[in-house]
Amino acid sequence: MSVLFVLLFSFAVAEARGPGLPNVMVLATGGTIAGTGSSSTTVVGYTAATVGIETLLNAVPELKTVANVKGEQVFQIASENMNNDYWLKLAKRVNALLAQDDVDGIVITHGTDTIEETSYFLDLVVKSKKPVVIVGAMRPSTAISADGPINLYNAVILAGSDEAIGKGVLVALNDQINAARDVTKNNTSTADTFRTPELGFLGYMQGNKPYFYRQSTRRHTADSEFDVSNLDALPQVDIVYGYANMNRVAIDAFVAAGAKGIVHAGVGDGSLARPAVEPALDEARKKGVVIVRSSRVGNGIVARNGEAKDDEHDFVVSDTLNPQKARILLMLALTKTTDTKEIQRMFYTY
């Protein structure tokens, strides 16, 4: 996708909006941003997903000054309970809304535990260049210094901005803008938990305006080959974690349970324990299970034919995707093909 095309598309969308405020739809799914605690100092042990969308929006009256905002409660869950069915429902609703001329951008409020997974899933299946921004909070709405309101305010500005057009799905908290593909939760409890290790933020929110300094070079959203419009389910893909003294029990169990793919979160450069693990993965592959080598490290490229002879084993490597995101790409890849060479191409493309 050329830079010129993005600029022309951005200009066209801006012209279509006219001189008024952008129209931003806020889809609520629950999470800490919609959570409540027993007191104003409760920031641990609170209850997530208790506050509805209208209450969230009414708590930030300043939203009316930056966008024409409407809200919709898609579902109400703590994000550790996120599953494939919720993803499919959310993706289809996002695509339906973005196809409307009266929607310029979408904000999704979400729990932080799986925000990186939902954002990457949407990055692969949203069929529009209009902005989609996922936002959450690390403190419940009842806390003294709740971060939800300012995060939501910034997210609406970002979703309504020309600058965010064509940038893919964005994750915006703590005045920082991250790309869905690369962001990960980095701390269990601090407000600056979302980071893009090594590659860095896309930009910042400052003074009611987004500032971008880089963008992802990987294919996403409108340029993606994946389509979930006619899908009612996704293939079963599971993750096996590597560790010292690892055995094959988990691999065999997932295969017996019907896994179509397994992501191995190996040590180091995706290394496989021998003789415990490598033979089990080989046997799984011979049964048709697609194997992806990833790493538990969290940074860097998993090298093909590096710590394993991937060509001989007919394995796929995850490139820089962490295990949880490799699982998402593998699920979507398996909706199109079981050819490992083609799946490897996808991992180097997305």
pLDDT tens per residue, range 2-40 = 444 444 444 444 444 446 999 999 999 999 999 999 999
Angle (CA) 130-133-136 rounded to 5° is: 165
Residue pair 350/316 in contact by the 8 Å Cβ criterion: no
Phi, psi of 105, deg, nearest 5: -170, 165
CATH class, range 237-349: alpha beta
Mean pLDDT of 87-106: 98
Burial label for 227, CB within 10 Å (0-12, 13-18, 19+), is middle
Domain 3-223 shares a fold with domain 237-349: yes
142 catalytic? Reply is no
Mean pLDDT of 40-46: 94
Residues 6+ apart with CB under 8 A from 314: 285, 291, 340
Which amino acid type is present at position 146? A
What is the distance of C-alpha 350 from the center of its chain?
A: 13
53-74 burial code (b ≥16 CB/10 A, e <16) = beebbeebeebeebbebebebb
Q: From CA 17, how far away is CA 77, in angstroms rounded?
A: 33
Q: Which of 271, 257, 26, 226 is nearest to 124 (CA)?
A: 226
Residue 12, pLDDT score: 47
Percent of the chain with pLDDT over 90: 94
Both tokens assigned to 169: 């799905």
pLDDT tens per residue, range 317-344 = 999 999 999 999 999 999 999 999 999 9
Q: From CA 195, how far away is CA 176, in angstroms rounded?
A: 9
Residue 72, pLDDT score: 98
Q: Which of 112, 114, 184, 320 is catalytic?
A: 112
pLDDT tens per residue, range 265-304 = 999 999 999 999 999 999 999 999 999 999 999 899 999 9
Residue 8, pLDDT score: 46
Strand partners, 237: 261
pLDDT at 142 over 70: yes
Q: From CA 305, how far away is CA 37, in angstroms rounded?
A: 50
HEC secondary structure over the chain: CCHHHHHHHHHHHHHHHCCCCCEEEEEEEECHHHCECCCCCCCCCCECCCCCHHHHHHCCHHHHHCCEEEEEEEEEECHHHCCHHHHHHHHHHHHHHHCCCCCCEEEEECCHHHHHHHHHHHHHHCCCCCCEEEECCCCCCCCCCCCHHHHHHHHHHHHCCCCCCCCCEEEEECCEEEECCCCEECCCCCCCCEECCCCCCCEEECCCCEEECCCCCCCCHHHCCCCCCCCCCCCCEEEEECCCCCCCHHHHHHHHCCCCEEEEEEECCCECCCCCCHHHHHHHHHCCCEEEEEECCCCCCECCCCCCCHHHHCCEECECCCHHHHHHHHHHHHCCCCCHHHHHHHHHHC
Residue pair 205/175 in contact by the 8 Å Cβ criterion: yes
Mean pLDDT of 70-87: 98
Residue 19, pLDDT score: 60
Angle (CA) 31-298-193 rounded to 5° is: 35
114 catalytic? Reply is no
Domain boundaries, the chain: 3-223, 237-349
pLDDT tens per residue, range 180-212 = 999 999 999 999 999 999 899 999 999 999 999
Strand partners, 123: none
Percent of the chain with pLDDT over 70: 95
Q: Which of 32, 109, 184, 196 is catalytic?
A: 32
Least confident of 1-5, 120-124, 164-168, 213-217: 1-5
What is the distance of C-alpha 48 from the center of its chain?
A: 20
User: Which CATH architecture does the domain made up of 3-223 adopt?
Assistant: 3-Layer(aba) Sandwich (3.40)
pLDDT at 86 over 60: yes
